[in-house]
Structures are given as structure tokens and as C-alpha cells.
Amino acid sequence: MGKLNVVVLRYLSRDDFRVLTAVEMGMKNHEIVPVSLLSSIASLRHGGCNKILRELVKHKLVVYERSKMVQGYRLNYGGYDYLALKTLCSRDVIVSVGNQMGVGKESDIYIVAGPNGEQYALKLHRLGRTSFRNLKNKRDYHKHRKNMSWLYLSRLSAMKEFAYMKALYDRGFPVPKPVDYNRHAVVMELINGYPLCQVHELQDPPALYNEFMELIVKLANHGLIHGDFNEFNLMLDDQDHITMIDFPQMVSTSHPNAEWYFDRDVKCIRDFFAKRFNYESELYPTFKDIRRSYSLDVEVSASGFTKDLEKESAFLHPAGPEREDDDDEEEDDDEEEAADEEIPHENVDMEEYNHAMLELEGLKVSDTHAEVSNEKEEEREERKDTENVPAPRSDEKTEKVTEEELKEAEDECPELADLSLVITVRNVNTYIS
């Protein structure tokens, strides 16, 4: 794939992002979003919306599709990338995007730079490459979520990775420092090292083997199992210091298949050391050895990764010991396609849409990443004391306020010229997830 092409991002207008965001919101309830709904959400004339959509299709940010029942547009990863990058840029998290560092099974990794020249790793989750079997194995739940797209699952994957990375980093685990995330994009510390799969010689294989086993046990004692603890998700620097990456598939030790996941993580390390370094040890931990002393899994849930999200994130777990037959794969596809045609046109949350647009404009209103400015909070408190006005506003007032703020924002993107530059960085071989 090479360099992430962000040249067009500089030239997209505010209305372009209104339509892109409208497609994103419409896809919460529709596989294909009709133009009439997009015009309504974006508050644009039908003809103007069509013109913008043609340009977005030209730049491969949305896709036009026609089915027997409906014709319209859907967002692809290109458009999702732009929405995430624009938001991260508006937050002053990144100002430029460099070359691709690596390609994982379900993600792409790029080097990016912050406003002060600091370099980070940008991980764009791209579920759908090799994940269909895993989703199919959980279709009993998936059948109740007909509109669960790869974009949504990628966003869920990024949210889960950031939540666990932050919890582990705060506890002193050897993981990259989390910086920020939006949608399917996670910005983290850039690790100057090599994945274990590229290492062919070690100064002390037994010592490193013991460190890996101790790390697996330490995770479990904190209530977590990595779920994919292998040579591709472990990095070493020149001093053989370990850094652990890739956390979307992480599970709790209370998971029904926790012992199976734990034993598999241990087996991955044992097999790799036996094949690569000809080192085998009879000493290795078992699930019965775990003495749980912390509950990081509970802390992550309390931090905002709710039980509903945790339930949906079961799709991200690697396949467990039970596997289902693949005979009815086509039948399931037909059932889902038929069900998609019957989905009613549900109302789109306009407050959520307006908040997304405000964040794209740099007016930070996200409840997870920013708060309303202190001045507005003080004004509200004054109104409470003097006028006895109830604290919560009505939906109509909220929409009016957000619309006024949107109109006050500039009609063009913030300065994004640097986003087209390639960063010259030190030699980093890969950053596979």
C-alpha cells in the first residue's frame, strides 16, 4: 500500500466533511445510505449533495452501490481514514503523515509527527482481511446486528486496544505509551525495535524465555490474557528489552475459554524458542498457577468500555477451541442480505452528528477526549443561579447551539499542508500488529 495518500485531505471543504460524516452516521442503520437521507442529515440541497458525493467517489472516499431495493452510498476505509485523520489533526495530535512501517493481518502502521516534531506510530485497524471465519463462528449473536460493518468492528478494535494499552501502561507493563485514538485510528509511542520474528540470535535465550513466561503470568495475575502472545506481537530493542503490542483480542481470566487462551499463549512462546533458538524448557506456567491479585479487566470496563461493547468485542477474540462447520456459509450470507433489505429507516442522532462535525472543526466536544470550555460552564452556572433554568437543555436548543457554532467555524479545513509531507525517520524495520 505504501504511503497513506492524504493530499486530497487539504482540499476538502467543510461541506465535504459534512457529507462524509452524514454517510458515516447513516451507516449506523443502513448498509447503503440513500441520497435523500444524506441530504437531510447534512442539511444540504439535494443537488449540492449529489455534486459532493460525485467528488468523494472520484477520490475513493465513498462507494456508490445499487441493490434491488435501494441505491446510495457507503463509506469505505479511505473515507474513514480521512475522518479519523482530520479529527486527530484538529486535536493537534498529529500534523504530518509519513511512510508505512508495516502491514499486519488486520491493520496498517504509519509513522506520524506531532506539532512539536515528536514521532508516533499510527495504527489504522482494518478488520475484514482475514476475520470472516471468526465472525462466522459467532453468527448466533451477529444475526441480531445486521448492520455491523467492518468499519464498526475496526472502530471497536481500536477502542479496545487503546483502553487496554492505557490500563497496562499505567500499571507499568512494557507496552507503547498511548497518545490518542479516534474511530479506527490509534496513535501511540514509536518503539525503536524489532519484532521477535525477525530476531535470529539471542545473547541469553533462557533468560528471555523466562521473561516472556513471567510477563504472561503477570498479565494473568492482573486478570488479563493477551490472546495472541507470539513472535509477531513482541518487540525487542538492542538491549533485548521487551515491548508487547496488539491488544484487541485480549480477554479476561474469567472468560469461559480463558485456560485455553492462556495455554495457547504459553505454547506459542515454547514452540518458537524450540524452533528458532533450539531451546526447550520443562518449566512453564499453567492456568492453575495463576493467583489473581488485580482486576484490570474490571477497571477497563469501568473506564468506559462497557459490558455491551465487551460483548460485541467478542468478535475480536481469536477462534476458541470450539469450531463450527462451514457448510452453511452461503446460506448465512443470503439470510443477512435478505434481512438488510428489510431494515427500516431509523432516525439518525443529529446531536451525535453535530458533535462529530464540531470535533472535525476543532471544537472539542467529545465526551471521551475533551470537555466543553470553562467559559461556557461558568455561563451555565450563572444562569442556574440567576434565572433558575434547569441544567439540561432540550434537544432543539442543543441543535441550535451546535449549528451556530458550526456556522462560526471556518468554511475550510485547518492548515493541513504538512499532511502531504513524508517524514524522514530513523530506520525502523517494522511494527507489525
pLDDT digits over 197-211, tens only? 999 999 999 999 999
**Domain membership flag for residue 204:** yes
**Domain membership flag for residue 94:** no
Active site residue 228: yes
pLDDT band at residue 343 using 50, 70 and 90 as cut-offs: very low
pLDDT digits over 214-266, tens only? 999 999 999 999 999 999 999 999 999 999 999 988 999 999 999 999 999 99
**Domain membership flag for residue 184:** no
Please determine, for residue 106, whether its predicted confidence score (pLDDT) is greater than 90. no
pLDDT at residue 348, as a whole number:
66
pLDDT at residue 413, as a whole number:
41
Please determine, for residue 337, whether its predicted confidence score (pLDDT) is greater than 60. no
Tally of CB atoms within 10 A around 88:
25
pLDDT at residue 121, as a whole number:
96
**Domain membership flag for residue 205:** yes
pLDDT at residue 115, as a whole number:
94
Rounded CA-CA distance 37/28 in Å is 12
**pLDDT, greater one: 235 or 131:** 235
Provide the domain limits for residue 305.
195-316
Place of cell 471468526: 134
pLDDT band at residue 180 using 50, 70 and 90 as cut-offs: very high
**Which of 180, 228, 265, 297 is the catalytic position?**
228
**Domain membership flag for residue 189:** no
Please determine, for residue 119, whether its predicted confidence score (pLDDT) is greater than 50. yes
pLDDT at residue 322, as a whole number:
60
Of 1, 186, 236, nearest to 100 by C-alpha is 1
- State the average pLDDT over residues 63-92: 93
Helices assigned H by DSSP within 342-416: 350-360, 374-387, 395-408
Of 373, 3, 315, nearest to 159 by C-alpha is 315
**Domain membership flag for residue 33:** no
pLDDT digits over 85-99, tens only? 999 999 999 999 999
What percent of the chain lies above the pLDDT cut of 70?
Answer: 67
Q: Which of 151-155, 360-364, 375-379 has the lowest mean pLDDT?
A: 375-379
In 57-203, beta strands by DSSP E: 62-66, 71-75, 96-103, 107-113, 119-125, 178-182, 185-189, 194-195
**pLDDT, greater one: 28 or 406:** 28
pLDDT at residue 207, as a whole number:
96
Say which DSSP state 422 is in. Answer: P
**Domain membership flag for residue 412:** no
pLDDT at residue 360, as a whole number:
80
**pLDDT, greater one: 132 or 170:** 170
**Domain membership flag for residue 157:** no
**What average pLDDT does the chain have?**
78
Q: How many domains does the chain have?
A: 1
**Residue 302 φ/ψ, nearest 5 degrees:** -70, -25
Of 199, 1, 227, nearest to 104 by C-alpha is 1
pLDDT at residue 70, as a whole number:
86
**Domain holding 246: CATH number?**
1.10.510.10
**pLDDT, greater one: 409 or 248:** 248
pLDDT at residue 363, as a whole number:
63
Of 273, 306, 290, 285, nearest to 156 by C-alpha is 306
